[in-house]
Structure 1
Amino acid sequence: MNTTSLATLLAVLAVVVGVSVVMRPRGSSTLDFYLAGQKVGIVTNAWAICGDYLSAASFLGVAAAVYVSGLDGAWYAVGFAAGFVPVLLFVAAPLRRYGEFSIPDFLGRRLGSERVRLVAVAVVQLVILSYLIPQSVGGGITWQLLVGEGFFGLSPYATGVLLSTAVVAAIVAFGGMRGTTWNQAVQFLLLLVALVWLAAVVIGEGFRYGDAVDALSAEPLANPSRDADGWVLQEEVNRIDGAQPATFGEPGARYGRLGQFALVVTLAMGTAGLPHVMNRYFTSPTGKAARTTTVWVLALAGMFYALAVMLGTAARALIPDAVADHPWLEDLTVEGVLTVPEHALPVLGRIFGGEAGLGVVAAGALVALMSTIAGLLLASAATWGHDVYERHINPRATQRQAVTAGRATTLVAACAAAVLALALRPEAFAPAMPSLVATMVTWAFAIAGCAFTPVFALAIWWRGTTASGATAGMITGAVLAVVMFTTGNSLAPSALKELLVTPTFVAAPIAAAVTVLVSRRTEPPPDVDAAWVRMHGTAADRQAERLARLTVAGRRTERRGGRRAQR
């Protein structure tokens, strides 16, 4: 067991738990538990969104994808970072101005339908579970490398899965959105410090990104592959020109032309449909604050992904030469190449910082996945607690009962994710994909981008969207996404497989078309004009609309009072 690394990790966990205790909600209202009273500042919320969004797929997965596939792996960074551009332009401000608790709450109220709300709840849970599983897998992989030992008769991987998931579930259930927001802000800063430290150390040792890419591209790209006799190093074929071997600095190592485009579209469109990210915009005090927050997020995420791409390249260039001086690398590599790509950054940390360096990077990885798990569990709690329990199971629930129901659902969702993560064996998947964690997260982005983003955009920007149209669009998008990437993962490498496993390019337009066609045959909700003013009107427009509602309500009260007097 690496005592120094484990001590570093425990110190980070102590900070995280301390933040939860200090910043826990003071009341028991659902507004406090789910939305932190809608009083989260711009910079704090930007840090928290980054902590929510920059998951194990970002910290471990992007560097791993670059490590394995070079330029093709960098498309993950492009897609993840680009996702906030449509959020900034089309979603953030209108969503906050409308002001609800969750995506299902927004769609249900905007379209005046409980059926839409319940279908949205089902899709939210599917997205959350798809996103939770790779985070738990990342926890197992990191613990396996950091500690190397299991507790209570469990393997190191299983121990990491269970511990990381259990700790975060307890923190979320205790701290609510207020505690989770500050935790995610602190966790993002810790994550960024780990990444910046590692980049500074690598550059200080003489690493130069451009020179490394040129050197790596001078010979064919090869990665470990497992056969009956164990691990062997196998050259990659260029997917664009099959007659040539793949190289690190040229496209085609993992995806063809269409596959690269489909991957970026899937990741960019999926961001606007991620429940745990979109829920954060409801915590902003105003629509303007939500938009400004997104600008901050774009800048911070861009810096983060640039560092991740650089460090994935550094790992590929530096680890082979380090094997001779670090015998422990022999158990993790085949001819100098890592068998588990997600080990790239932790291994770099240990090479240049010893056990403490490994602890810093591993703590950063665990902080990243814990922060994202926290956001996912809180989004799950909001949909079950507010959209299902309060509105359908127990409409007369007190605020305390509703919060208790939300806390209980965080534990259920965490258990489901941990069980499914334990069923996976990461080493069996690693040779087949650029990064197990990043690839699995792509499936969550696909479901969100196909089922939610088209309906979301239409509900915000098209007056004619109806409840029936939104229901049909969400179901169509979710079913197509699941069927396509499930079918694609069973196929041999080909252009068809690349398109199927990143289905948003095809499925999202179909879902949008279904929404429009069905909406044109059904009636929009009667209060669409009022909803439009709330989302897109000026402050004066919204004030006038509120005064009009109050005037109408007052007249109704007067008429009721008059009728009672006559009786």
Structure 2
Amino acid sequence: MITASVLILVALLIAVIMVGIFIRPRRASTLDFYLAGQRVGVVTNACAICGDYFSAASFLGVAASVYVSGLDGIWYATGFAAGFVPVLLFVAAPLRRFGEFSIPDFLGRRLESDRVRFTAVVAVQLIILSYLVPQAVGSGITWELLVGHGIAGLSPYATGVVVATTVITALVTLGGMRGTTWTQAIQFLLLLAAFVWLAIAVVGSGFHYADAVADVSAEPLANPVHTGGQWQLEAEANRLHPGEAIHFGEPGGRYGPLGQFALIMTLVMGTAGLPHIMNRYFTSPTGTAARMTTVWVLGLAGLFYALAVMLGTAARALIPAAASRHPWLDELTVDGVLRVPEHALLALGRLYGGQAGLGFIATGALIAVLSTIAGLLLASAASWGHDVYERHINPRATQRQAVWAGRGAVLTVAGLSAALALSLRPDSLTAMFPSIVATMVTWAFAFAGSALTPVFILTIWWRRMTAAGAVAGIVTGAVTAITMFATGTIAGDRGLGEMLLTPTVVAAPLAAGVAVVISLYTRTPANLERLWLRLHGTAADRRAERLARLTISGVADLHSGPQR
């Protein structure tokens, strides 16, 4: 049966590559490779964004966080879903109206500065890398449980990392944005199908959410820790009421008051600065289509994360009783509690569907990884290939040369992320974090929300924003976030350390303040009115402005012509 599950997984991976190859752009155009010709429909783009956004942190990490920390794990689901509200209100429509290829390209054009573009490229690459690594970690964890053995002398975990990275790198380099868009949309539908099937199976067995929360809350919350060479259960500390026991259905199992607020703000602010998500809005045909796409994404995200929370709770309630009937769970649990929280959905899949069920859920997890890696690699390719190579290294590059530069960037970043993922041991980090995958992705959100989002939103909505202010804001947010991260890893995740590990609540206001102050003392772009109209004007306004420029140009040519 394991062989059958692996064959299903391999067949799916081959099908994903074939779809990407079949619908890849037939001509070497950067517009097609990076933006799918800007002709992606609302529903298709919404599904593709969901496929891009619902990463291993969403598919495995949210359920794992709920499983290991109870109510506090729901903050991940809340923050991930709510992050699209500011995108809907402040970003989607003006970003698409302005156009361009990427966040650095947008900032560079809007502020008429190559220095801003280069600074944003560095920030984008750091965000992409910090987001890629946990996806590769998730693929290794999934392969380890599904297959259980490696290839060519590699460990099962390393094999999963290498296979997932290789497959999706091939897809992106061959199919570009057009191929990736359709595969991501299909992959999201498969992700949702996996969640729906498992939810139906769990509810059909008699599971009731409210009753399950009451049952698992009857005893203090405890999770496995590895000490003295042995695994044992250890009660979680109550972060809200020290000295008291913490229960599954109460807040405080993982975060104190400051930590809960900081986590939500980090996830909400971070979404608008994620390059692989924001780049997707450039593929919409109009600003209105971009806004409607976000409305669809909000609805789909609400459904997806509600199911993730329910299934994380189901795993906590159902696996302990099942451990006594299924010997294979002994290898994964300590007194009925999973050692690796990311195994929660995978274990439920095997309980209710046997090896085929495990294969289905594992396939969904790898799909989540592959889909997100694809979007991240494309964002990296656009940043290096278009913003650096095409504009500055080789301004006279042909379209084919520019596309190949992007493909080279894909290969480089993919190899680096895989190497970093291979250096990690997820089981050794489980005691430190509720979900290593979700936590690592949160760091990417924190960096994006600190370095890019404040400057991004100010650039869209504040006329006085300048290039010097943007550079200062990005650098301030990035340095503050990195400094707080480094301090937090030393201080731990208790008390002030909670905020240090989710620094956006401090770094974002500081970055915005610095950007505003510097902008007030420096000069705005020379073509501010035209740029502002491009961002916020109606279609009629933009047509009138173009007609006026053409008229003025024609009159100037008339007066400068030969005199009779």
User: What band does the TM-score fall into relative to the shorter chain?
Assistant: over 0.9
**Aligned position for 2:288:** 288
Please list the CA deviations of residues 197-219 of structure 1 after superposition, one character each: whole Å capped at 9, or x if unmatched: 00100000011111000111111
**Aligned position for 2:520:** 520
Say yes or no: does 1:403 pair with 2:373: no
TM-score, normalised by the number of residues in structure 2? 0.98
**Aligned position for 1:129:** 129
Partners of 2:555 and 2:422 lie apart in 1 by: 61
Say yes or no: does 1:308 pair with 2:308: yes
- Which residue identity is paired with 1:148? G
Q: CA deviation at 1:552?
A: 3.7
**Aligned position for 1:326:** 326
1:181-260 correspondence runs (5 A): 181-260=181-260
Q: CA deviation at 1:230?
A: 1.3
Partners of 1:558 and 1:264 lie apart in 2 by: 60
- Which residue identity is paired with 1:510? L
Deviates more, 1:243-252 or 1:541-550: 541-550
1:397-436 correspondence runs (5 A): 397-436=397-436
CA contact (8 A) 2:13 2:167 kept: no
Partners of 1:115 and 1:552 lie apart in 2 by: 31
Q: CA deviation at 1:265?
A: 0.4
Q: CA deviation at 1:156?
A: 0.5
Please list the CA deviations of residues 479-536 of structure 1 after superposition, one character each: whole Å capped at 9, or x if unmatched: 1111112211222342201111011111100000000000001000011111111111
Q: CA deviation at 1:555?
A: 4.5
Please list the CA deviations of residues 211-257 of structure 1 after superposition, one character each: whole Å capped at 9, or x if unmatched: 00011111100000110131110000110001111110000000001
Q: CA deviation at 1:558?
A: 4.9
* 1:117 aligned counterpart, secondary structure: helix
- Which residue identity is paired with 2:216? L
Partners of 1:455 and 1:36 lie apart in 2 by: 27
Q: CA deviation at 1:8?
A: 2.0
Partners of 1:309 and 1:127 lie apart in 2 by: 26
Q: CA deviation at 1:557?
A: 4.8
Q: 1:534 to 1:338 in 2, by over 3 A?
A: same
Q: CA deviation at 1:5?
A: 1.7
1:52-451 correspondence runs (5 A): 52-451=52-451
Please list the CA deviations of residues 384-404 of structure 1 after superposition, one character each: whole Å capped at 9, or x if unmatched: 010000011000000010001
* 2:226 aligned counterpart, secondary structure: strand
1:519-538 correspondence runs (5 A): 519-538=519-538
* 1:432 aligned counterpart, secondary structure: coil
Partners of 1:279 and 1:558 lie apart in 2 by: 42
- Which residue identity is paired with 1:51? G
**Aligned position for 1:547:** 547
Q: 1:556 to 1:139 in 2, by over 3 A?
A: farther
After superposition, the CA RMSD in angstroms is 1.1
Q: CA deviation at 1:554?
A: 3.7
* 2:154 aligned counterpart, secondary structure: coil
Q: CA deviation at 1:354?
A: 0.4
Q: 1:543 to 1:223 in 2, by over 3 A?
A: same
Partners of 2:471 and 2:378 lie apart in 1 by: 24
**Aligned position for 1:10:** 10
- Which residue identity is paired with 1:405? A
Q: CA deviation at 1:549?
A: 2.8
Q: CA deviation at 1:53?
A: 0.3
1:467-546 correspondence runs (5 A): 467-546=467-546
- Which residue identity is paired with 2:146? L
Partners of 1:377 and 1:348 lie apart in 2 by: 31
Gaps of 5+ in 1: none
Partners of 2:526 and 2:338 lie apart in 1 by: 60
**Aligned position for 2:29:** 29
Q: CA deviation at 1:551?
A: 2.9
Gaps of 5+ in 2: none
Q: CA deviation at 1:553?
A: 3.9
Partners of 1:556 and 1:59 lie apart in 2 by: 60
Partners of 1:384 and 1:278 lie apart in 2 by: 16
Aligned length: 563
* 2:431 aligned counterpart, secondary structure: helix
Partners of 2:104 and 2:65 lie apart in 1 by: 33
Please list the CA deviations of residues 367-426 of structure 1 after superposition, one character each: whole Å capped at 9, or x if unmatched: 001000000000000010100000110000000100011011101000000000001000
Q: CA deviation at 1:110?
A: 0.1
Q: Percentage identity across aligned positions?
A: 68
Partners of 1:36 and 1:475 lie apart in 2 by: 32
Partners of 1:325 and 1:147 lie apart in 2 by: 22
Partners of 2:493 and 2:370 lie apart in 1 by: 33
Partners of 1:547 and 1:396 lie apart in 2 by: 30
Q: CA deviation at 1:4?
A: 2.1
Partners of 1:69 and 1:559 lie apart in 2 by: 75
Partners of 2:65 and 2:489 lie apart in 1 by: 17
* 2:452 aligned counterpart, secondary structure: helix
* 1:234 aligned counterpart, secondary structure: strand
CA contact (8 A) 2:134 2:437 kept: yes
- Which residue identity is paired with 1:23? I
Q: CA deviation at 1:326?
A: 1.1
Partners of 2:556 and 2:149 lie apart in 1 by: 69
**Aligned position for 2:38:** 38
CA contact (8 A) 2:493 2:501 kept: no
Q: 1:556 to 1:359 in 2, by over 3 A?
A: farther
Please list the CA deviations of residues 435-491 of structure 1 after superposition, one character each: whole Å capped at 9, or x if unmatched: 000000001000100111100110000000000000000011011111112211222
Q: 1:555 to 1:392 in 2, by over 3 A?
A: farther
Please list the CA deviations of residues 15-37 of structure 1 after superposition, one character each: whole Å capped at 9, or x if unmatched: 21121122111211100000000
Partners of 2:551 and 2:472 lie apart in 1 by: 37
Partners of 2:282 and 2:244 lie apart in 1 by: 50
* 2:244 aligned counterpart, secondary structure: coil
Partners of 1:546 and 1:169 lie apart in 2 by: 41
Partners of 1:85 and 1:390 lie apart in 2 by: 34
